[in-house]
A = this chain, B = another copy of it.
């Protein structure tokens, strides 16, 4: 169950499913959300294949013993993407007690559908990106969650500004309170406490978005549509920049940090693995290679140190 249970914040006041909204449209929201996420996966993998000529995602369709299933698409060793995974899933059933207690809504019955992706480009000049958008029902509650964050090996301020500006524009079309709230939530969530660093230069993170679910769905669809606009211009600007062994080595060290975050802190990963999720679909988020030297610190004033500085002190990229 990628994306469950979000970041562990479990507000006690998540509101009931507004039955009128759910049933007003032609199909239940869970059906429309699932159809939307499946289509979003198609659009994103199609655009990435167009960006990386000759590269094709491998597709694995799987079913979950407890109910539902998914469609995992992975690319390995392509010219642009060293490794990338874009997964769709729509799963339902009963949560284990331990997990059920940490997710809003009565009982253990749940439904969750969403898209989750992580792209690790080959070039150390092109940032890694993650995005996840999901719709969840449990007991009498329902909500949307999601977000997207950018993880460069080298800080390029213009890229961070472009990424945040894209997400802020989406947020501002729906609620002016969204961007500042979700930007901070992202910095707080994608945080490696033991390193005193964020995973990257942030983006958006949100969860338990309930209330007017049709309006929330419209926001999530707007986010889904904006993902390629947020990321591809950065890819195009950086993909032809030169790099060598020193940059590759730093990239592998940063990828070690990515592994640390996903295995130590990411709730979706940890709970997914511990509750019998499909291991290969969950761990498709890990990079093809990673490196752990001993106590390697970038020299002060180096481009590598400039990245670490901003990870230790997250910035406001747009006002």
Contacts and interface: CB of A to CB of B under 8 A. Distances in A.
B74 A274 contact: no
A194 interface: yes
A270 B270 CA distance: 13
A274 B194 contact: yes
Interface in A266-319: 270, 273-274, 279-280, 283-284, 286-295
A273 B74 CA distance: 31
Contacts of A293: 76, 288
A188 interface: no
Interface in A58-96: 58, 60, 74, 76, 83, 85
A222 interface: no
A266 B292 CA distance: 17
A291 B289 contact: yes
A242 B294 CA distance: 28
Contact of A294 (B58, B194, B252, B295): B58
A259 interface: yes
B289 A85 contact: no
Nearest to A272: B194
A292 to B, nearest CB: 4
A280 B297 CA distance: 11
A275 to B, nearest CB: 9
A-B CB proximity, top 3 nearest? A263-B263, A286-B292, A194-B273
